[in-house]
Amino acid sequence: MTLASLAILILTAALAPALCRISRRFGNLLVAAVPLGVGCWFASASGVVLGGQPVVETWSWLPALGLDLAFRVDGLALTFALLICFIGSGVLLYASSYLAASPRLGSFMGVLMAFMAAMLGLVLTDNLLLLFVFWELTSITSFLLIGFEHERERARWASVQALLTTGLGGLALLAGVVLLGIAGGTWTLSELDAARVLSSDLYTPIAVLVLLGAFTKSAIFPFHYWLPNAMEAPSPVSALLHSATMVKAGVYLIARLHPTMAGPPLWNESLAIFGGVTMVLGAFLATRQDQLKKILAYSTVSSLGTLVLLLGLGAAKAAATYLLAHAIFKGCLFLVAGSLTKSSGEKNPERLGGLLTRSPLLGGAAVFAALSMAGMFPLIGFVGKELMLKAGLSHPEWATLATIGVAVSGTLTVMAALIVGARPFLLAPAHDVEVNWKSQPGWRQLATPLALSAAGIIAGLAPALFAEPIVAGMVASIAPTPVDPEIRLRWLELLWPPSTATFLSIAALAVGTALFVWRRPYRAVTAPVEHLDRIGPARGYDAALAGLTSLAGWQTRVVQNGSLQIYVRVMLLTVIGVVGLALSRSLDWAAITGLATQTTVLEVMLVLALVVATLSSTVQKTALATVACLSGVGFILAILFALYGAPDLAMTQFSVETLLLIIFVLVLFHLPRYRDLSKRAFRILDIGLAGVFGLTLALFVAAVLSSDAPGSVAAYHAENSVPGGYGRNVVNVILVDFRAMDTLGEIFVIGVAGIGVYTMLRLRAKPEAEGAS
């Protein structure tokens, strides 16, 4: 069923544009209903999965390499699948109203559905290499979604920045998963042997590469800069990708590999240090922003850092609870921010106010989501924050630093939550601002925020309904060692009797509220570090991109300067250098001398004829004589083919040479007069270069012939042509079966070249048409 669910989402993504064109209203609703149905299937399997019996499905993929299409639904995968499907369905419903006026709504729905399919495949797969494939698909689809409004330069720039940053991490992850598969002795995630991986010499590069991939994806310092800039995307994208799903892909990867990789300081302390820095830095930067989505973006950076920190501390229960809570309240707030901006045309929360009376449903959803984000009881956000503080206080090594970091970030998060969720609705607008409420959000814009807000309330008041089983399933998947299967998330039990964590939580609420009330003095005091984020990694990204562009420009000017002669010289010198270096280390002159003694008189005569024809072509005074000499070279080669038992190849060579000779003769009548275009010194250089190149290749062929070559593959091809390739023409079977990927690559190259030629012809035809008009 897992593969079927992916196929359903992919098919819906392909059909979404057509469905939206056929019926804009009902087509959108149908598209939004598909992930809802898939999510209901996963929910129906939750009893089995959360009971400790993962759903496993495997199909043969590349049996010769031991690779399978393996999917496994355990507690962690199930949680992400439910978030992707249910929140994704709500976001699609929201987008059908939010982007109703956009002519590209169908395309948007299709790409968003494709992203959901990629993300679902990422969390369900049990194969390391397939995980990387889905990982990259999420990067590509998110690039398209961030740059959806591609007519704006900022949107294009932000999408490229996100793609380059996560793409760099993807390359690191590819190397990491390959090394992990080698060290673990399997490509199946659930079969990785932790003891074998931890004792492997490859552990250090594996940990570094995997963490680099995860950190870039989840916007962990120093790669946090791309996420706030990605707010150029429409609000539905931010709600799904940048709060509930894509940015948590790195967190998912860390959690998935935690049972295998946890233990050494390189893994645990890296998570704690980088997660803690990201947590505090993101929360502080959130309070310095003046746009709704930017505040939410930086607070998301802080939340991602918090999750990474908790995993580093080994606090699986706190991490799982906060992951669920964050997906609920942040998804709601992103959608609320989108509706506020669309209805009022204003992004700055300080210029909004008194909106609870104009849209009480939207305001109610925003206020409860903001209170959950702030950690107010009895909401699920309070449970998550309380468990975070207890995890910090109870850690044997990082208790002081972790507790201070969580308390500071929690305080600043309270301030950010009140600015976004309370300020526009509960307070009056600024005295010099008149809020222009253009339109009332429709039911499709209200349904998802209300549902998410209600989910946060229910998860806090009645956690046994779904929060406790989900968290218990995640903890069982994340924890390196078996844990207590009973998970209780009762807010009253956490609140009373009061503990140190309780007092810290209440203090964070009080201080955060005070900072919200006196936010203008706070911003004045922190103004000197207002541009903190712009002088750090973000500037490093800009410098690296500018340097890469400069290097590419220099390389283009030097290597691709438009001179065909230079191109040929560079290629010949490269081959001479690489092959010559290899020959200098392995050449057996005795064996080559032995080959020379085996030649016949006829072979010597043909070789001499080849040399004479070749040299003659370089001294002719007319183009026709030069072409005739070169054709002589081709005909002599055809004779050699026939001599060595390849009559079919000889006939092909004869036909091609004859046809080329005729074509050249016809073309020569339309070419300028034959003359020397290069200086004598360059011609001498070219003669020497060509001679050295020919000698190098001759020595290379001689070295191959004189080496102890393995058995011929001809017998294998002949024996397996019919049973394996279902063809009696061995050459055809080699092209389309044994070397199918090679042939496909050649077809692709020819196709790209054809498109390029067609494009150039069209570009040339346009100016001529304009001149004629």
pLDDT for the residue numbered 600: 78
What is the average per-residue pLDDT within 154-161?
93
What letter represents residue 476's amino acid? Answer: A
Helices (H), 479-563: 491-495, 500-517, 519-525, 537-559
**Residues 6+ away with beta carbon under 8 Å from 647:** 641
What letter represents residue 742's amino acid? Answer: D
Q: Where is pLDDT greater, at 484 or 714? A: 714
pLDDT for the residue numbered 3: 82
What is the average per-residue pLDDT within 152-173?
94
pLDDT for the residue numbered 159: 93
Judge if pTM exceeds 0.75: yes
Task: List the single range of 104-113, 397-406, 759-768 with lowest mean pLDDT.
Answer: 759-768
pLDDT for the residue numbered 205: 96
Query: pLDDT above 90 covers what percent of the chain?
Result: 42
pLDDT for the residue numbered 61: 76
What is the average per-residue pLDDT within 711-726?
78
What's the pLDDT band for 697 if we cut at 50, 70, 90? confident
CA distance 176 to 210: 5
**H/E element, 63:** none
pLDDT in tens, 618-649: 777 788 888 888 888 888 888 888 887 778 77
pLDDT for the residue numbered 63: 72
pLDDT for the residue numbered 767: 55
Percent helix, percent strand, percent coil in the chain, to nearest 5: 75, 0, 20
pLDDT in tens, 216-234: 999 999 999 999 999 999 9
Angle (nearest 5°) at CA 701 between 700 and 702: 90
What is the average per-residue pLDDT within 642-663?
83
298 pLDDT more than 60:
yes
pLDDT for the residue numbered 482: 60
**Residues 6+ away with beta carbon under 8 Å from 655:** none
What's the pLDDT band for 158 if we cut at 50, 70, 90? very high
768 pLDDT more than 60:
no
492 pLDDT more than 70:
no
Q: Where is pLDDT greater, at 321 or 587? A: 321
Most confident of the ranges 480-489, 545-554, 577-586, 764-773? 545-554
Reference 413, options 515, 481, 331; nearest CA is: 515
pLDDT for the residue numbered 530: 67
3-state secondary structure of 631: helix
What is the average per-residue pLDDT within 375-384?
88
pLDDT for the residue numbered 434: 63
pLDDT for the residue numbered 773: 46
Place of tokens 């042509």: 721
CA distance 330 to 344: 21
64 pLDDT more than 80:
no
pLDDT for the residue numbered 452: 94
CA distance 113 to 120: 10
pLDDT in tens, 439-461: 788 889 999 999 999 999 999 88
pLDDT for the residue numbered 120: 95
Query: pLDDT above 70 covers what percent of the chain?
Result: 92
Q: Is 89 exposed, middle or buried (0-12, 13-18, 19+ CB in 10 A)?
A: buried
3-state secondary structure of 197: helix
Mean pLDDT of the chain: 86
Say if residue 378 is preceded by a cis peptide, omega within 30 of 0.
yes
370 pLDDT more than 80:
yes
What is the average per-residue pLDDT within 45-56?
88
733 pLDDT more than 60:
yes
**H/E element, 336:** helix 316-344
484 pLDDT more than 60:
no
